[in-house]
A and B are shown apart, each in its own frame.
Chain A
Amino acid sequence: MAMRYAISLLAILFASPLAAQGGTTPSAGGVASPAAPAAPGQDPIAAWLDSLASDAHGLTISRSAVHEGDLQVGAGDTVAGSIAAFHGTLDVYGHVRGNAVAAGGDVVLHPGSEVGGDVLSVGGEVRNEGGSVGGETRSVSALTVGAPTPAAPVTTEQTARRAVSLSVGWYLVLAFIGLAVVLFARSNLEIIAERIRTDFTKSFLYGLAGHILFVPALVVGVAASAITVVGIVLIPFIIVGFFLAAAGALALGFIAMSFVIGDAAMRWRGAAGGGGRAQLLQFLIVGLSIFLVLWVIAGALTSFGAVGGLVRFICMVVTWVAVTAGFGATLASRGGTRALHPPLLEEIEPIDDLSWQTPTPVSGVAAARRPPSSGRER
């Protein structure tokens, strides 16, 4: 029942991050708005003109030359200076002595039209259908240099959703690693878990020491390698290997810790310990789920100010303690290769050469007579 529950939970959680991501991922290949968002209370056109003037490919245009929406310069019309359409298309049939600009729209130069300066489209294109341009024609997908563009404010809902999906993502990956560990390194997992159960404090202190001594150990290892020529060549591999081993020990330790917690939780509920792989996986999933629930709650409470912060802090402390204890147990057991209590049979040493022999009377043992063979025997 509990296993079914865990699998169902896993299936639901697989769907969750996808749904969450769908809401937060921006549309691929989208083009940034040609106009920089204005600060609250600021005229958006003025803000955009500031950006335009600052951009390497921009122009300087006065505010009075800008019109919102589509704009047209008639066949007989002449614009003495520059002209710009903001979030609209600029159709030029007549003459523009200055620059012709469109923000978030196209500039169309119709036959017979004439622009003395530059023609620029930001977020659109310039279509020259027979006009003449005295200056340069250019189109840019967006302004790249200019007034600083304030980042879009992130809503509390987005923050919470991101935190929850992050937790779920971690959960899924750890569950996957846990599955691999149960399948391929079950004995290591059990030995590390036994260490944690037997002496949690010692495991935690080992883990703490491991955290502190990580960098010094790396430095010593590299320095020792530098003594020989072969060692110098191996230094990059040693560094990478060291980090990989540490990452592996952390992951393995946390998985073992989750397994111990799941085991304890299930026993508290009265589950019997069968010891099969399925039950190991069940305990592991339950343990990881407990951490998941903690982090999901913390993520959901992100917008609740101090309370959310406190919950998140508690989650961090709990997780750090779990990771440290698991890491310590992994180190102490050499990655789950050294059991705390070796099996009894291995401890018993023969007292003398004869101790294993069957006691035999000095007078000997009468040989038993073999029963007569049956007729079927050949």
Chain B
Amino acid sequence: MRSPGIIRPLLLGAAGVATLAVSALPTSAAAQESQRWRTLEASRSTPASSAGDTLRVRVAYSVGRLTLGDAKPGTLYDILVRYDANERLVSYSYDPAAHILTVGGDSGFARRFAISHDTDDKGPHPSLALRLAPSVPLDLALRLSAADATLALGGLDVRGLSVDATASGGRVTFDKPNPSRIPSAELRATFAGIAVSGLGNARADTVRAKATLGRVELDLGGDWTGSTTLDLDAVLGVVTVRVPSDVGVKVDASTTLGSVDTPGFTARDGALYSDNWSAAKRSVTIAGRAVLARLEVQRLP
């Protein structure tokens, strides 16, 4: 008599027990479903007295989808949050005296937004849609953690920009020229990816970008003149800069077990120059450091 295999019945039984466990879940989940999801919408009109003051916006958001764009004329801010009340506590505040809008708490976002699971593919997604006054000067600081962010800054008056992304994906677009100059824009990606398109429209004097185990892509397309500076750091990551063909580029980079890819550039005086460096009407100077990482400069058509 052939001895029957042991694996087959054990697997059958295990699969059955697993089925039991899974089948028990929907009941409890469905029971809580109607109690969990909340929406919060808040808006404020632009106060006439402080129309020219810079609105400082501090956002800390995790585990969800964040969108940022321009609000209707006359509206200072418009917030629409969808969240699971069992998993997180949404907090926001506006201080009219200091002209600060804080969403999600300026510190300790883990306390404010529980890093939790509530991104069920089939169920509702947590999200934060923030719209800001197009006519009010803005100083934006965003901290993202395990979030998917789309920041459409084209219609806004941005005076300061800082994006700190951890384990997140961020897309920043400037599809229109920024009415004001940004003295310094900062982008940090840790285990994350940040892609900026139309960065030339941002009219930033200096852009500081750091990719740690992540990737930063800077597209300097857009309508801009004069010169700008990029200060780049890559540690076990990649920073890619795409520059329009008419822009003169100078790259001064150091590497430690890393590489700098600048096809078609000429080495001179310890730096790399594009062919049109001396003749170009607008220019970008790139200072970079790559540690076990790569810096890339590519030409836009």
Q: Bound complex: CA of A338 vs CA of B20, how far in Å?
A: 28
Contact with A along B240-275 (1 / 0, CB 8 A): 000000000000000000000000000000000000
Q: Which of B1, B12, B37 has the most CB of A within 10 A?
A: B12
Contact of B1 among A32, A56, A342 (CB under 8 A): A342
A139, B78: Cα distance in complex, Å: 11
Give the contacts of B1-51 with A (CB-CB under 8 A). Answer: 1, 3-6, 8-20, 23-24, 27, 30-31, 33-35, 37-45
Residue B94 lies at the interface, judged by CB distance under 8 Å to chain A: yes
List CB contacts (< 8 Å) of A1-44 with chain B. 21, 24-32
In the complex, the answer to whether A337 meets B3 with C-beta atoms within 8 Å is: yes
> Could you tell me the distance between the alpha carbons of A27 and B34 in the complex, rounded to whole angstroms?
7
- The stretch from A67-75, A173-181, A229-237 touching chain B is A173-181
Contact present for A335 and B23 (CB under 8 Å): no
Q: Is B91 an interface residue (CB 8 A)?
A: yes
Please report which residues of chain A, range 185-205, place their CB below 8 angstroms from some CB of chain B when the two chains form the complex: 185, 187-189, 191
Q: Is there contact, CB below 8 Å, between A248 and B5?
A: no
In the complex, which residues of chain A have a beta carbon less than 8 angstroms from the beta carbon of B43?
Answer: 136-138
B30 contact set on A, CB distance < 8 A = 25-26, 28
**A255 closest partner in B (C-beta):** B13
Which residues of chain A from 123 to 178 have a CB within 8 Å of any chain B CB? 125, 132-133, 135-142, 144-145, 169-170, 173-174, 176-177
- Is A251 on the interface with B (CB-CB < 8 A)? yes
Shortest distance in angstroms between B163's beta carbon and chain A's nearest beta carbon?
A: 26
Q: Give per-residue flags for A316-354: 1 if the beta carbon is below 8 A from chain B beta carbons, else 0.
A: 000000000000000000111111001100100000000
Q: In chain B, what residue has the closest Cβ to A134?
A: B45
- Asked if A138 and B41 sit within 8 Å, CB to CB, the answer is yes
Secondary structure call for the A interface:
mixed
CB-CB under 8 A from B15, the residues of chain A are 177, 248
Known: A28-B34, A142-B38, A144-B38. A334 touches B16 (CB 8 A): no
Residues on B with beta carbons closer than 8 Å to the beta carbon of A188: 4, 6, 8-9
What is the size, in residues, of chain B's interface with A at 8 Å between Cβ atoms?
40
Contact B9 A346 (CB under 8 A): no
Q: Which of B14, B24, B34, B89 contacts A26 (CB 8 A)?
A: B34
Q: Does B85 contact A (CB under 8 A)?
A: yes
CB distance from A177 to the nearest CB of B (A): 3
Whether the pair B33, A28 counts as a contact (CB closer than 8 A) is: yes
Say yes or no for A244: interface residue by CB 8 A criterion: yes
Q: Could you say which residues of chain A place their CB within 8 Å of the CB of B24? A: 169
- Is A57's beta carbon under 8 Å from chain B? yes
In the complex, A252 has a CB within 8 A of chain B: yes
B34 A29 Cβ-Cβ under 8 A? yes
B14 with A245: CB separation less than 8 A: yes
| Chain A: interface size category | 35 or more
CB distance from B47 to the nearest CB of A (A): 9
| B contact residues around A250 at 8 Å (CB) | 13, 17
When distances are taken between beta carbons in the complex, the residues of chain B under 8 Å from A346 are: 1
Whether A140 lies near B89 (C-beta < 8 A) is no
Q: Is the CB of B9 within 8 A of A247?
A: no
Looking at the complex, which one of A32, A142, A173 makes contact with B16 (CB distance below 8 Å)? A173
Closest to B84 in A: A144
Query: Does A184 have its Cβ within 8 Å of any Cβ on chain B?
Result: yes
Of A57, A189, A251, A252, the residue contacting B40 (CB under 8 A) is A57
| B168 CB, min distance to chain A CBs, angstroms | 25
B207 within 8 A of A: no
Q: Does B90 touch A at the CB level, under 8 Å?
A: yes
Closest to A251 in B: B13
- A222 CA to B120 CA, complexed, in Å: 33
Contact A248 B27 (CB under 8 A): no
With contacts A28-B33, A29-B34, A56-B91 taken as known, whether A335 is within 8 angstroms of B27 at the C-beta atoms is: no
Q: Are B6 and A136 in contact, with the CB atoms below 8 A?
A: no
Instruction: With CB as the reference atom, state the residue of chain A lying closest to B18.
Output: A247
In whole angstroms, how far apart are the Cα atoms of A56 and B20 in the complex? 40
A249 within 8 A of B: yes
A139 to B33, Cβ gap below 8 A? no
Chain B residues positioned under 8 Å from A176 (CB to CB): 16, 19
Identify the closest chain B residue to A132 (Cβ): B45
Chain A residues with Cβ under 8 A from B33's Cβ? 26, 28-29
Chain B residues near A57 (CB, 8 Å)? 40, 42
Kindly provide the distance from the CB of B58 to the nearest chain A CB, expressed in whole angstroms: 17
In the complex, how many angstroms separate the beta carbon of B113 from the nearest chain A beta carbon?
Answer: 13
Whether A251 touches B8, Cβ cut-off 8 Å, given contacts A141-B38, A338-B3, is: no
Q: Is the CB of A252 within 8 A of B12?
A: yes
Closest approach, in angstroms, between the C-beta of A324 and any C-beta of chain B? 15
Residues of B within 8 A of A177 (CB): 12-13, 15-16, 19
Please measure, in the bound complex, the distance between the C-alpha atom of A217 and the C-alpha atom of B62, giving whole angstroms: 41
Q: Which residues of B contact A137 (CB under 8 A)?
A: 42-44
Report B-chain residues with C-beta under 8 Å of the C-beta of A342: 1
Q: Which residues of B contact A181 (CB under 8 A)?
A: 9, 12-13
Question: Which residues in B have their C-beta under 8 angstroms from that of A125?
Answer: 41
Rounded to whole Å, the gap between the CB of B295 and the closest CB of chain A is: 36
CB distance from B286 to the nearest CB of A (A): 43
| Contact A245:B16 (CB < 8 A) given known A28-B30, A56-B89 | no
Contacts of A248 in B (CB 8 A): 9-17
> Can you give 14 contacting A-B residue pairs, CB < 8 Å?
A24-B31, A25-B27, A26-B33, A28-B33, A139-B40, A140-B39, A140-B41, A141-B39, A177-B12, A185-B12, A188-B4, A188-B9, A339-B1, A343-B1
List 18 additional A-B contacts (Cβ < 8 Å) besides A32-B34, A137-B43, A137-B44: A21-B27, A26-B34, A28-B30, A133-B45, A136-B42, A138-B43, A139-B41, A144-B85, A173-B16, A177-B15, A177-B19, A184-B9, A191-B4, A244-B10, A248-B11, A248-B12, A251-B16, A337-B6
Which 9 pairs, one residue from A and one from B, show the smallest C-beta to C-beta distance?
Answer: A248-B13, A177-B16, A251-B13, A248-B10, A138-B42, A248-B14, A335-B6, A247-B17, A185-B9
